[in-house]
Structure 1
Amino acid sequence: MNETYRVELAGDAAVIVRIARQEVPWFIDEAYLMTEARAVGVPTAEVLGLEHLDHDGELLSFSVQQFLPGRSLDELAGDLSAADLERAVQDAGEILARVHSVVPDDQRGIRHELRLPEEREVTRVAGIVSERLNPAAAAVVERGADYLREEITTRAAPPTTLVHGDFCPKNLLIHNGTVAGIIDWEFAGRTSPAYDFAQWELDADEVLQDRLDLVRRGYARIADPESAEAGWTAAYAIDWALEKLGWRNPATPAQFRRCVDVIARYTASATTLGTEPG
């Protein structure tokens, strides 16, 4: 979505420069929410400066941020020992609990609301899934939509807090064996904490996608994960899965299959779902 550069300065210093091309000034809410999170102990970069310039009739927004050392957990997952990997994911869970302890200004950031599935869109997505996988997978999509409609129309809306908005291993920096930073706050905003748990399930790679238990274990050092999720993780996971399955620019085959599998599990499918075209 943005251009991102590591800029080397004199004296072996470096900063990160991000450039957005949006119709309105960008990165302002992101900078505010990063500051709020850092105040409660979340390791995130300091925003050193924001600038918005007109360039040949196009608005460019610049965010200059502190450079945080490390490599993403996504890259390192296959190289770490089992013990080190578990420790890193649990530490990430503790950081997530700190993120969720923030109640930001209601006007800041994105509000991630569950969307009531529209029949036309569900039909379109089910058709895509049937073509790419099989009719059984398409039936799973329809069950997921029914489940989501039931949750939205029969339950009171969950309490909201700050959420990171893209909580997954690729946005966790590991340095010297510890979580040195959580990056990419562009989608941060307000919703149920369950949103971030659902993001992990759908967006973590194969090594970590089924280790949400480790995230919850670390979370429990600060707060009760079950109380935070309040039974909403399934709804947010299905909502995100349905969106990804309908992307005009398709998700990768692995992501596509993962979305269907997660919906199947949360809708208690009794049928073993094939993942090859049938």
Structure 2
Amino acid sequence: MNETYRVELAGDDAVVVRIARQEVPWFVDEAYLMTEARAVGVPTAEVLGLEHLDHDGRLLSFSVQQFLPGRSLGELVGELSAAELERLVLDAGEILARVHSVGLEDRGVRHVLRLPEEHEITRVAGIVREAFGSAEAAVVERGAEFLRRQVTTRAAPPVSLVHGDFCPKNLLIHDGAVVGIIDWEFAGRTAPAYDFAQWEVDAGEVLQDRLDLVRRGYARIADPESAEAGWTPPFAIDWALEKLGWKNPASPAQARRCLDVIARYTTPWTQGG
């Protein structure tokens, strides 16, 4: 979505420069939300400057950020021991609770559960049928019906600041500690369950079924069940359906994960009527 550069400065210093090409000034809400999160102890880069320039009749937005050392947890998964990995995910869960503790005005991206549209579900089911077969296409339709019932019969979920892309690739690890959460472009004020759902769908093969560790770390600061309020399954299914319908297709492994998440949450529901 953006260009991102590490820029080396004199004296062995470095910064991160991000460039966006959007119709409106970009990175403004992101910078504000990162600052608010950092105030409650969330490790984020400091935004050093924002600039919006016209270039050949097109708006360019620049965000200059502090460079944080480290590698993403997603890259390190295969190199860490089980104990190290567990400790880092627990710490990430605690950081997530701090993110959700921020009270603020409604800024940033709003992740709203949508009523599945019939024509879109038909399209997604067709994609899945071609790639995986009729049984998996039925999973898509079951997920859509589950989502419809959740959206139309339940009161709206609680809201807070969410990171918007909470998964291992956006957790920076340095000297055995979580030193930063990066990529706040999708942050905003919405249901905390959205972040839990993102982890479950996108955390990758080793960690995608370890949401229990995130919840345990979260419990150091706040009650994860109260934060989720039972809304993680609908948000996970909503995100899985969206990924399955991407015009630039998700990888087979990602698609398979999306189907597995939908099946897990909807099978007990259909068996129970």
* TM-score with structure 1 setting the length: 0.96
- Structure in which a larger fraction of residues adopt helix: 2
Residue 111 of structure 1 aligns to a residue whose secondary structure is coil
Residue by residue, what CA displacement relative to the aligned partner does 1:17-49 show, whole Å, maximum 9, x if unpaired?
000000000000000000000000000000000
1:125-140 superposed matches below 5 A: 125-140=124-139
Instruction: Name the % identity.
Output: 83
Structure-1 residue corresponding to 2:251 = 252
Aligned partner of 1:30 in structure 2 is: 30
Question: After superposition, what is the alpha-carbon deviation per residue over 1:54-93, rounded to whole angstroms, capped at 9, x for unaligned?
Answer: 0011100000000001000000011001100000000000
Q: Partners of 1:214 and 1:228 in 2: how far apart? A: 15
Partner Cα distance (1:253, 1:187) in 2: 24
Q: What displacement does 1:190 show?
A: 1.2
CA displacement at 1:207 relative to structure 2: 0.8
Residue-pair matches, total:
270
Distance across 1 between alignment mates of 2:157 and 2:168: 26
Q: Which residue of 2 aligns with 1:179?
A: 178
- Give the structure 2 partner of residue 274 of structure 1: none
Looking at structure 2, the residues matched to 204 and 56 of structure 1 have their Cα atoms a distance apart, in angstroms, of: 40
Aligned AA (2:34)? M
**Cα distance per residue 1:97-148 (max 9 Å; x no partner):** 0000012211x10111001000110111001000000100000000000000
Match of 1:276 in 2: none
C-alpha RMSD over aligned residues: 1.0
Paired position in structure 2 for 1:189: 188
Consecutive unaligned residues in structure 1, runs of 5 or more: 272-278
Greater than 6 Å deviation, 4+ residue runs: none
Residue in 1 aligned with 2:13? 13
1:225 corresponds to which residue?
224
Structure 1 Cα separation of the partners of residues 162 and 45 of structure 2 = 17
Deviations along 1:181-219, one digit per CA (max 9) or x if unpaired, are 000000000111000000001111101111101000100
- Alignment pair present for 1:156 and 2:151: no
SS in 2 for 1:166: coil
Which runs of 5 or more structure 2 residues have no equivalent in the other structure?
A: none
1:269 Cα offset (Å): 5.9
Distance (whole Å) between structure 1 residues aligned to residue 269 and residue 57 of structure 2: 57
CA drift of 1:270 comes to: 9.8
